[in-house]
Structure 1
Amino acid sequence: MDFISQPLPLTGAYNVRDLGGYPVQEGKTTKYKSFLRADSLANLTGDDRKYLYDYGVRLVIDLRAEAETQRNPDAVDRQVMEYMNFPLLDNIQSSFLQGKMPSDMSEMYIRLVEDSKTTLAAIFRKLAGAEGCALYHCTAGKDRTGIVTMLLLKLAGVDDKSIIDDYSVTEKYMQPVFLEQQKMIQSAGIEVPDFVFQSKSSFMQKLMQYMYRHYETAEDYLLQAGLSAHTVEQLKGKLV
């Protein structure tokens, strides 16, 4: 059985997972307690907050739009953790599912990596300089979080299958939340395609194929987005 990161035992979030444990070259694996990917932190309990602090989290990066953060603010203790908001506008969750829908999620992912280079560079600069463990998240921990995760894991040298598996498993962990969201949307009379609540391997596969064609490597993409070579090396050092 190939390794896939498991959710941390939290009550108020379903998809908080460490990027550690993935095989890379020379028999090494990615480091634990450097980066956590996550879904919404709006419902964290006091015990959840303590768990994340004890785990080493000192930086929380919120990838949601300002309207999303206002509607469902993160329940993190800003006295002991730095909180920063770097909005990645997916025009799906960021417009509360009322924007123009893409033909599938990969279309949105490709648009986002092309249109949000400046924001993504700022996110990766902050992650590179983070003290302790850095957590980044969106609403479901699937799309915007999935893009950041793919770039980090590619930078570390993780193989494509592991990255796609890490992305795909979100649908399983978030199923209770997705079912609830779908019910609410239907009762509001909003029509949303099923794929919005899916993390099919083909979505991530198409994005990665696009990245290979246009940038060759994650490192090349991040350098073109404005990161310095020094920052890229800092990130690699935190990953492996």
Structure 2
Amino acid sequence: MPHPTRTYVRGQRFLHRFFQVPRRGLDALDRRGTTQPPGRPYPAPMSEAEDLVRLASADNFRDVAGPGHRAGDGTPLRTGVFYRSNELRLTDEDAASIASLGVSAIHDLRTRAEVEHRPGVDVPGATRHHVDVLGIPLEEITELADAEAAVALMERVYRGFVEEPATRAALGTLLTSLAVEGVHLFHCTAGKDRTGWTAALLLHLAGVEDTVVLADYLLTNTRAAASRAATLRLIAETRGPDSAAVFEPVLLADADYLHTAYAAVEARYGTRERYLLDGLGLEPQVLDALRARLRG
């Protein structure tokens, strides 16, 4: 099936379309999935104490530079250059918070179907760009029989970041855009897979150690814990308790998923640098610009 016709689904749209959860159930999930009043920051774990902004309506919003990530030579990464997030269904207060960061470009990595179904809220001063990075055929989700099948599907998704020509082209377009001056925000639906892989590539370019990159990737599980738990509860209530275990791997960031992509990079390109240059078609000056933007 051609890449543009695929649909990558998450969260409430995923529940409604594939689990037959009624809209009133999704409204309840909206209420239950947020543990703080709209517009108020979430309390941050100690490891995230340096985060400057926490958003109630986009719980996976954060600075790619992290709370003090450093390049291989010990240089602190520049904050306030690249932000990442889950979908931007923002309160007015949270939209204003993002605007106050000087965000000039928002890159939406979701499919057109996702964007049409759940369009994001406009952020004052920011231009929107759509880059369809990846799609999962609908039948792949509906036919999941057990958790093992879900894990296998997710591993195929991550190999797709490396092996699918259309996905590589989209990632190349995205990273080329991120090299342009300005404050950039990129996001997908959960801020986990497409966004997580993009953030990992940026951190690798900056020379951040692999252990730190992995910890940053897995932070999604902490940041989105409340909304993920609410999603799983709703799945269990509507489809039975066993269904939640089947679909939980689709909702998690997993170290094995990231390692699957790394293994595909090594097998096909040898190094991540060659993947960026040959696989994504990036020019050397684009890589230099991204490094310079991250390192200051």
Deviations, residues 154-177 of structure 1 (Å, cap 9, x unaligned): 111111100110111111111121
Give the distance between the partners of 1:96 and 1:31, measured in 2 at CA: 40
The 8 Å contact of residues 72 and 209 in structure 2, kept in 1 or not, is answered as no
**Pairwise CA RMSD of aligned residues?**
2.6
Equivalent residue for 2:105, pick from 53, 59, 62: 59
- Aligned pairs for 1:93-108 within 5 A: 97-98=141-142, 101=150, 103=152, 105-108=154-157
Q: Which runs of 5+ in 2 are unaligned?
A: 1-45, 145-149
Residue type of the alignment partner of 1:126? S
CA displacement at 1:7 relative to structure 2: 7.9
Give the distance between the partners of 2:141 and 2:120, measured in 1 at CA: 20
Equivalent residue for 1:111, pick from 151, 160, 164: 160
State the percentage of identical aligned residues.
28
Aligned to 1:178: 228
Equivalent residue for 1:10, pick from 55, 66, 72: 55
TM-score by length of 1: 0.87
The 8 Å contact of residues 19 and 35 in structure 1, kept in 2 or not, is answered as yes
Secondary structure at the counterpart of residue 152 of structure 2: coil
Secondary structure at the counterpart of residue 134 of structure 1: strand
Give the distance between the partners of 2:60 and 2:52, measured in 1 at CA: 5
Give the distance between the partners of 1:66 and 1:185, measured in 2 at CA: 25
- Aligned pairs for 1:113-192 within 5 A: 113-115=162-164, 116-129=167-180, 131-187=181-237, 189=239, 191=243, 192=246
Deviations, residues 123-170 of structure 1 (Å, cap 9, x unaligned): 1111111x3210101111111111111111111111110011011111
User: Cα 1:223–1:3, aligned 2, differ >3 Å: closer, same or farther?
Assistant: farther
Equivalent residue for 2:260, pick from 206, 214, 221: 206
Give the distance between the partners of 2:269 and 2:135, measured in 1 at CA: 21
Q: How many residues align?
A: 235
Residue type of the alignment partner of 2:171? L
Secondary structure at the counterpart of residue 169 of structure 1: helix
User: Cα 1:169–1:234, aligned 2, differ >3 Å: closer, same or farther?
Assistant: same
User: Cα 1:111–1:29, aligned 2, differ >3 Å: closer, same or farther?
Assistant: same
Residue type of the alignment partner of 1:40? E
Give the distance between the partners of 2:162 and 2:116, measured in 1 at CA: 25
The 8 Å contact of residues 69 and 76 in structure 2, kept in 1 or not, is answered as yes
The 8 Å contact of residues 84 and 191 in structure 2, kept in 1 or not, is answered as yes
The 8 Å contact of residues 7 and 15 in structure 1, kept in 2 or not, is answered as no
Aligned to 1:73: 119
Secondary structure at the counterpart of residue 107 of structure 2: strand
Query: Which of 1 and 2 has greater Rg?
Result: 2
Give the distance between the partners of 1:99 and 1:56, measured in 2 at CA: 43
Give the distance between the partners of 1:8 and 1:105, measured in 2 at CA: 30
Deviating 4+ runs (over 3 angstroms)? 2-7, 94-102, 183-192
Secondary structure at the counterpart of residue 103 of structure 1: helix
Deviations, residues 105-124 of structure 1 (Å, cap 9, x unaligned): 33311123321111111111
Q: Which runs of 5+ in 1 are unaligned?
A: none
